[in-house]
Structure 1
Amino acid sequence: MYVVSAQQMRDMDRFTIKHIGIPSLVLMENAGAAVVREISRRWPEGMVVILAGPGNNGGDGLVIARHLANAGRDVRLWLAGDKAKRSQEFCQQLGILDACGYRYEHWRGHEEACMAELGQAAVIVDALLGIGAKGELREPYASIGQAVNVSKSPVVAVDIPTGINSDTGEVANRSVRADLTVTFACLKWGQVLYPGADYCGECVLADISIPERAALAVQACDVWLTESSIRQLLPPRPRFSHKGTYGRALILAGSREMTGAPVLAASAGLHTGCGLLTLAVPESVLPTVTARISEPVFWAIPEENGHFASDSVGRLRERLQSFDVVAIGPGIGTWPGGVRWLAGVINAINVPLILDADALNLLADDLSILAQKRSDIILTPHPGEMGRLCGCSTTEIEKNRPHYARMLAQRYGVYVVLKGAYTLLASPSGQLVVNPTGSAALAKGGSGDVLTGMIAGFIAQMRNTEAGMRLAVYLHGRAGEICGMRSMYASMASDVVQAIGPAIRTVSFAGEASRTDFPGN
């Protein structure tokens, strides 16, 4: 499922019309019919008020009005905007509507009558402005948007709510707030970026006969993770297997002041199904950590003032070849000499390396050490850490999450997991993957440590960096959703760990290993 810009979507439309041979009116008919299906399923009775602008988005609205009227629904169609700006397709659809004998009214001069109907509607259809609209709303759209929002009636947006920038998610003053958005062919970036995503309500993607070939023709590459794609990635658990089958992970974590982070990360890695996990912590931290978790193999690392000793890299180097993935960062803190220590570790590791938390804060002091990498590196920043890595404010990061995630990944040849709603996964190739899962139950300290452990656990099993990242991020979000069903407030990071198994079960066709008829079963 692709996520595209407004320009890519327009180019896909043109390609479909010119090279595939599907006329624009057919695409419009398909789009309108898709919206009608959603309305009929969700609001089968009552008056439907349709607001149509002069462009092709308004043309979709005219199709919706005709189909609903054909079905005997009480339809009130209101036209808005400059007649001189009506598109060719809009004019053709209006001619069809006239030929059918269906009535419509104009907003200008009848504002009070329209507002009265908005308040009485079973559902309002916003077909005023499409994905090309940008900037603040001009009249009459600002006044109509305000009238829609104060009506309290349910709102269905056609493709995107009026006033939402389809590329950035920026919201104009008096933008329409929809309960449901029916979008066509592909998701648009403005539907997955805050605050635009919040104004879209529930998003339904409708097929209007634009083929995948059109997406490939415009070089669309960014995608939305789906449950079906995750199900295909989930590693099998054959009966005839052993702990070595499911990989070996190493997590370097913890410091004198932060002993919980290594426990959460290691526990999460093991809950994903990782066969063997080694937890390396500073020597003085080991008794505290072993009192809280017993399943990992433990490795006490020489320390200085509660942190990993600068000369411990040599000792690490002796055993690094026995692991399939290494994760560094949860709870390690920052300390003088920490950047030099991290550079030495990066240079020593030739398997996928995950850098999280304070490893990212150390990295931000000298990003040039990434040039020493010998294998894939995965950075897992939250927006604040991303700001430090990119040399800008958290606000700037949140304004253009796709840009900064893609830029950092391509500039340094690394993978980036930019956490948030929605989490973005950027690859060195420049592709972005949007993760749909998650909930506010994850908005607590320790959730990031859990994610780090999950990424390590899945990469260890799969020996595939991108697949492991996708699985971990999706299932971490799903675990957060499961916790949120119990309580958005009381859920702890340790609860997220316990929800990993149930999260995996939601996407897995497989249960336990199949029973055999061997003696003893």
Structure 2
Amino acid sequence: MSYSSTSRFLLPPLPFPQEIRAWDKGAEALGLPEMLLMENAAREAFVVLLRHCPDIAGKTVWLFMGNGNNGGDAVCLARYLLDAGAHPLVLHTKAQSQHKGASARHMKVAKASGVPFYQLRFRQNRWNLPHDDLPHLIVDGLLGTGFRGPLRADALSLVEAINALAPGRLVMSLDIPSGLDACTGNPMPLAVRATCTVCFAAGKPGLALPWSRQWTGSVHVRDIGIPTRVRDGAHCSGYLLDGHCLAPLALPSGLPENSFKNTFGHILILGGAPGYEGAAHLAARAALRTGAGLVTVAAPSDAIADIKCGWPEIMTLALENTGPHWPSDISTRLHSLIESCTALVIGPGMGRGKDAAKFLHALLEAQRPPTVFDADALALLSYEPRLLDKIRKEDVLTPHPGEAGMLLGESAQSVQGDRWAALDKLCAASCGVTVLKGAGTMVRQLSGPTLICPYDVPQLAVGGSGDVLAGCIGGLLASRAGILREHSAALPWDCHPSLLAAGMGVALHALAGRSLAVQWPLRGNTPTATADALPHVLHTIQQDQEDTFAWPR
């Protein structure tokens, strides 16, 4: 999929199965027949197959054909393979007379072109796979994105048979590995283990989630000719958060001329009670590394010296007459500082005592800029859920599974067991942007689409990483307000700039963590290193100008 500099391509779509069917129907309504879309899909699959196996001539290829459109894609692909000098064999699970529509027509064309067919039968709990001329390559066209599990016994047996053949062979799945849920990325309970997966028209939400990687292999998204008018006019519930979304931040031309420190905003961080000063330091450090012009940390007076931690660039404000505690109200001096700031982060190292709770109450009543609520601030909100009514649409909440469980009155295990459901509940609880952290971080606001980050980064699984993310998001809110407004306004749904800031911050943070794997492949890195890597990641981001991409694995 090619990407331009326009915002529409900053977030590649991840339509749910019913939404991709609406795309197909919209294309047909404009006069593009299903048979043509199937032909286009087969051609694109053939291109990807050649990239993985350029010497296809003479190779035996088994193509498993199901009863739906994926089966039609497979039988059409067999014709391309035959013309390229390969030896395809279509193994179909239904009699040829039972196939309908475009699949049946492509089956007829392939048969007339000389493609051989073999009907699979399930008897005595076994499939009658051919015993002669075993394949060099396997194409999985059994079940499409509309599949909902669990697999029936016969389908499960066939998936097991394919996986038994797979070791040492290239396996390509069409649109999605058979047996994998397109929404959750979970096997039901098993899926074809593919070397690569070719997604047609767009990626699928489940395939963007990192736990699907053991089934999908590399994921290639290919255009099959569905018009932009159709795609823009149809609802899409998911979008991908990868390096493409950072393109506007990575262009030196995007930095304003004749700028000075206030051009890039002033971020205020409220956190770092005695004993937890490092959390506030990490958030402040990340905000500076993300590009904020000014960073101030306000904290109880006893914590100020350790928050700086040798960084004179971090300004501090000792809250008046507090010692180790938070004040119960917002002083005139602090109120003036809040009013002058562009963004605010509250929570890193704040503590969860009664003094912190009273201070949070006071802050929620004050006039304030867009605010990132993280760590202890989220815990304090969970103690008094009615306070979530004070969260505004420009605010961002960044819970990890444990904090999400506290906000919902559930366990972290329950949140992880169904992250989609947990995100639904979190978004219903407040009108702010919710960032549900973890492998495959998900970002959403109210009933809008979900932004999915495809990365799973072991280097980020260390205390302090969340503080870096909070500072990163706050730093973007402070320093890139103009870019955020411009690109959020161009997205195909009503989007507050804070949502885009949160999404960009998640992707930038994940890629910074990934970059540390070069030096620390087995972990051992610190969150400080993650923060310091942020500007280097932006420097190396390049827009992908090729007509396809494989999601990073």
Quick one: which of 55, 69, 73 aligns to 2:82? 69
Quick one: which of 222, 242, 256 aligns to 2:238? 222
Matched, 1:6 2:17: yes
Residues 356 and 380 of structure 1 are in contact (CA less than 8 Å); yes or no, is this contact kept in structure 2? yes
Matched, 1:231 2:265: no
Q: Partners of 2:511 and 2:479 in 1: how far apart? A: 20
Paired residue secondary structure (2:179): coil
Matched, 1:138 2:152: yes
Residues 372 and 398 of structure 2 are in contact (CA less than 8 Å); yes or no, is this contact kept in structure 1? yes
The structural deviation recorded for 1:360 is 0.5
Matched, 1:398 2:416: yes
The AA in structure 1 aligned to 2:76 is: V
Q: Partners of 1:419 and 1:391 in 2: how far apart? A: 17
Shift in CA distance, 505/111, structure 1 to aligned 2, threshold 3 Å: same
The structural deviation recorded for 1:299 is 1.0
Structure 2: 5+ residue stretches without partners: 1-11, 482-496, 544-553
The AA in structure 2 aligned to 1:503 is: V
Which residue pairs with 2:6 in the alignment? Answer: none
The AA in structure 2 aligned to 1:224 is: L
Shift in CA distance, 63/281, structure 1 to aligned 2, threshold 3 Å: same
Matched, 1:344 2:401: no
Matched, 1:364 2:374: no
Which residue pairs with 1:35 in the alignment? Answer: 45
Quick one: which of 521, 524, 538 aligns to 1:490? 524
1:189-234: CA deviations, max 9, x gaps?
2212364454222211111111232233332253223544421255
1:288-330: CA deviations, max 9, x gaps?
2233432111111257683423345665324211101010111
Matched, 1:96 2:122: no
Paired residue secondary structure (2:279): helix
Matched, 1:175 2:175: no
Matched, 1:299 2:317: yes
The structural deviation recorded for 1:364 is 0.9
Which residue pairs with 1:455 in the alignment? Answer: 473
Shift in CA distance, 411/363, structure 1 to aligned 2, threshold 3 Å: closer
Q: Partners of 1:134 and 1:70 in 2: how far apart? A: 35
The structural deviation recorded for 1:505 is 0.5
Residues 391 and 430 of structure 2 are in contact (CA less than 8 Å); yes or no, is this contact kept in structure 1? no
Shift in CA distance, 131/159, structure 1 to aligned 2, threshold 3 Å: same
The structural deviation recorded for 1:144 is 1.8
Q: Partners of 1:413 and 1:176 in 2: how far apart? A: 40
Paired residue secondary structure (2:62): strand
Q: Partners of 1:398 and 1:202 in 2: how far apart? A: 24
Shift in CA distance, 111/221, structure 1 to aligned 2, threshold 3 Å: closer
Which residue pairs with 1:512 in the alignment? Answer: none
The AA in structure 2 aligned to 1:502 is: H
The aligned length equals 506
Which residue pairs with 2:484 in the alignment? Answer: none
Paired residue secondary structure (2:313): coil
Quick one: which of 517, 526, 538 aligns to 1:504? 538
Quick one: which of 66, 69, 77 aligns to 1:56? 69
Paired residue secondary structure (2:377): helix
Matched, 1:440 2:458: yes
RMSD between superposed Cα atoms in Å: 2.4
Which residue pairs with 2:509 in the alignment? Answer: 476
Q: Partners of 1:440 and 1:85 in 2: how far apart? A: 48
Paired residue secondary structure (2:206): helix
The AA in structure 1 aligned to 2:31 is: G
TM normalised by structure 2 equals: 0.85
Q: Give the share of equivalent positions with the same residue, in percent.
A: 31
Structure 1: 5+ residue stretches without partners: 510-521
Residues 436 and 443 of structure 2 are in contact (CA less than 8 Å); yes or no, is this contact kept in structure 1? yes
Identify which of structures 1 and 2 has the higher relative contact order when contacts are C-alpha pairs closer than 8 Å and 6+ apart: 2
Shift in CA distance, 420/168, structure 1 to aligned 2, threshold 3 Å: same
Paired residue secondary structure (1:4): coil
The structural deviation recorded for 1:403 is 4.1
The AA in structure 2 aligned to 1:257 is: G
The structural deviation recorded for 1:500 is 0.9
The structural deviation recorded for 1:261 is 0.9
Shift in CA distance, 195/83, structure 1 to aligned 2, threshold 3 Å: farther
Q: Partners of 2:69 and 2:282 in 1: how far apart? A: 52
The AA in structure 1 aligned to 2:151 is: L
Matched, 1:418 2:431: no
Paired residue secondary structure (1:310): coil
Which residue pairs with 1:26 in the alignment? Answer: 36
1:43-77: CA deviations, max 9, x gaps?
12333221111211111100111101111112232
Residues 301 and 312 of structure 1 are in contact (CA less than 8 Å); yes or no, is this contact kept in structure 2? no
Residues 406 and 431 of structure 1 are in contact (CA less than 8 Å); yes or no, is this contact kept in structure 2? no
Q: Partners of 1:266 and 1:114 in 2: how far apart? A: 64
Residues 126 and 157 of structure 1 are in contact (CA less than 8 Å); yes or no, is this contact kept in structure 2? yes
